[in-house]
Amino acid sequence: MNADPTPEHALPDAAAAPTVGSSMPGGSGSSETASTGFDLSTALGGARADDEERARAEVVFEADRLSVFYGDFQAVRDVSMQIHAKEITAFIGPSGCGKTTLLRSFNRMNDLIASARVEGGLRYHGEDVYGEGVSPVIVRRKIGMVFQKPNPFPKSIYDNVAYGPRVLKWKKSDLDDVVEESLTRAALWDEVKDRLDQSALGMSGGQQQRLCIARAIATKPDVLLMDEPCSALDPIATLRIEDLMRELKDEYSIVIVTHNMQQAARVSDYTAFLTVDIDDESGQRTGELVEMDRTDRIFTNASDPRTEAYVSGRFG
Amino acid sequence: MSITSSTASLPQRDSIRGAPPAGERAFSIAFSAVLGLGIFVALGGLAAILIWAVSAGLPRLDWGLFTNAPSTARIETAGFRTAIFGSLYVIAGVIVLIIPIGLGTALYLEEFSDRTSRFARLVDLNIQNLAGVPAIVFGILGLAFIVRGPVGIGFVAAAGSLTLALLVLPTIIVSSREAIRGVPRSLKEGALALGATPWKAVWTQVVPYAAPGVLTGAILSVARAFGEAAPLLLVGAVTFVTFNPRFWSDGYSVLPVMIYQYATRPQASFRLLAFAGVLVMLVLVLFMNSFAIWLRNRYERPLQ
């Protein structure tokens, strides 16, 4: 039950993808697209991006009609976007719109689900993340991740931070420095420096999440993916994490999924708004990118009426 | 109108005083009674066996029981030494075999196989079925394939180990799988997100977390193997061995077989010896389990 024998109906019009699928061919449930001869600029043009501005920074991720499937179910359809270095990019959208699925496809965490499958292109600094000969293990060493629920290992604070460096077989003599530096970067050092050998599970939720961030940056990845990192935290802990993200921005490219629009507005430079398209016949809920733009524009002057409706609280 | 009148007819309606309805209370009481009965039967049965064995075997309990070899001529000083050695050899072999194989199989099935694949489901089904196969069948299997046949190591303690290992493997696999399933997914994900290989993530996060559960399964399996007599009769656990056996050569005997042998003799003094043998087994099982539980508690998430 692994191979999915859906016939390939080529969607003729690339521009039709971002404008929601009332015109989608229903029934067969397959809206797979052959991505041959696709021009990326066409899709990005639809997102009203200012080319000059978009060109100012190095592109970290480039998704090219990226779709994610779980078995026969399509969770994300034809997402095309660029994510730039040393920016905070936020994914917002209603529940079930595939934000998390999209995020987890960036560091191949979806590989853990046997039925998960990706179509379309995803390039990381120009290299195909899902290309042949690419190991998800190596991908994840470059692209760190922080999860929704803080998940410290049932070990000491020190061992949590040292886990990544130990996996990479860094020199033992450097570990103390790495741990201190990472915890300092995560604004946690002063709170825990006297109890590094104590269990990480004895910390508060906010501290645990900062520990998870320290753990993720200990191996100096290039990108930090954050999946609703504050949803389990109180407002003060949330603000601390947000401060931390702003500080980390000068070294890391950060992609954050959030349910909290204020959070996206507060911390992110760019925002992608995704929505969910419910198939009339099958009832399948598939996520789609509506638009991606500078955060201030998304929140004050969105080009798509659905974005405006969502950010002003009229829908979702 | 109707509302007021119905409230009036039920004046206690607004009060939170009073007990739940009689039917619910009766159910609670009955439920507690069933639970109590269950505990009574379980503990009562165990207590009965203990009291019976201790009272019957106590007159014969002394160090000689542990240090003297079996004998039919000198009943008064006959002991279980060679059978104790035999049992310990067999059990040591079982432990060495089942922990890596059982844990390895469970890890493969839970963490590395595609659970929907035909192969994984076939293995799954077979393990469930093997757990229900009578012990004597494993004895015949051991005789045909381990003592003779392809392995052909003869009637030695190692053959007993292999046979009993096959017998209890399904148990430890099933309990290890349960333990592994109880490990939060977030731990493995966290390790993978830090760039650990799947093997490293499982070894550093899943295995330590599941270790207490795996050890519990091992304790149960080993206790069962320790008490088995039937399959060992077929793979060479002969009745009277008056010398200490070795693992790879010589005949051997084990405690349950020895006890059976003494118990079936007509003389009363042999029966007394059999009861004392039960006590010897109880003491050894108690020792082994205490050690295993101590080991498990050391592992039991010391940092929580």
> Mind listing the pLDDT tens digit for each residue in A94-151?
888 889 999 999 999 998 888 899 999 999 998 999 988 999 999 999 999 999 999 9
Least trusted range by pLDDT, from A252-256, B139-143, B242-246? B242-246
A 102-141: CB under 8 A from B: 107, 109, 112, 114, 137-138, 140-141
Give the closest-approach CA distance of B177 to chain A in angstroms. Answer: 18
Q: Which helix (H) or strand (E) holds B120?
A: helix B118-130
Q: What is the pLDDT of residues B212-242, one digit of tens each?
A: 889 889 988 998 899 888 888 888 877 677 7
Q: If pLDDT is split at 50, 70 and 90, which confidence band does A175 have?
A: very high
Rounded CA-CA distance B14/A316 in Å is 41
Q: Cβ of B114 and A114 within 8 Å? A: yes
Q: Is B197 close to A153, i.e. CB distance below 8 A?
A: no
> Quick check: B27 pLDDT over 70?
yes
Report the distance separating Cα A210 and Cα A229, nearest Å.
Answer: 9
A219: contact with B, CB 8 A cutoff: yes
Spatial contact of A46 and A83, defined as CB atoms under 8 Å apart: no
Does pLDDT of B197 surpass 80? yes
Place of tokens 């108690």: B286
Strand spans (E) along A127-210: 127-128, 143-146
Cβ-nearest to A140 among B116, B192, B208: B192
Of A222, A230, A310, the residue nearest A267 (C-alpha): A230
Domain boundaries in chain A? 50-311
How far apart are the C-alpha atoms of A251 and A116, rounded to whole Å?
32
Least confident window among A17-26, A38-47, B255-264, B274-283? A17-26
Greater confidence (A262 vs A8) lies with: A262
- The answer to whether the CB atoms of A167 and B186 lie below 8 A apart is no
A168 at interface of B, judged by CB pairs closer than 8 A: yes
Determine how β-strand A253-257 pairs with β-strand A88-92: parallel
Q: What are phi and psi of B196, to 5 degrees?
A: -75, 145
Q: Which residues from B are below 8 Å from A114, CB to CB?
A: 114-116
Chain B partners of A134 at a C-beta cutoff of 8 Å? none
Q: How far is A211 from chain B (nearest CA, A)?
A: 12
Taking an 8 Å cut-off on Cβ atoms, the answer to whether B189 and A138 are in contact is: no
- Shortest CB distance from A140 goes to which of B184, B187, B195? B195
A50-311: in CATH 3.40.50.300: yes
Contact A276, A98 (CB under 8 A): yes
Q: Which chain A positions have a beta carbon within 8 Å of B115's beta carbon?
A: 114
User: Among A238-247, B69-78, B92-101, which stretch is predicted with the lowest mean pLDDT?
Assistant: B69-78
Q: Angle, nearest 10°, between helix axes A157-167 and A205-217?
A: 20
Distance from CA of B303 to the nearest CA of A (A): 5
Band of residue A168 on the pLDDT scale cut at 50, 70, 90: very high
More reliable by pLDDT, B215 or A3: B215
* C-alpha–C-alpha distance, residues B288 and B284, integer Å: 6
* Among A1, A2, A140, beta carbon nearest to B193: A140
CB–CB contact A163 B304 (8 Å): no
Nearest CB to A164 within list B184, B194, B205: B194
* Nearest CB to B200; choose among A145, A167, A212: A167
Q: Which residues of B touch A147 (CB under 8 A)?
A: 186, 189-190, 193
A277: number of CA atoms within 13 Å, CB side?
Answer: 24
CA distance A21 to chain B (A): 33
Which whole number is the average pLDDT over B265-294?
86
8 Å CB contact between A235 and A160: no
- Least CA distance to A167: which residue of chain B? B196
Q: What is the mean pLDDT of residues A176-199?
A: 92
Q: Which residues of chain B lie closer than 8 angstroms to A216, CB-CB?
A: 193-194
Chain centroid, CA B133 distance in Å: 16
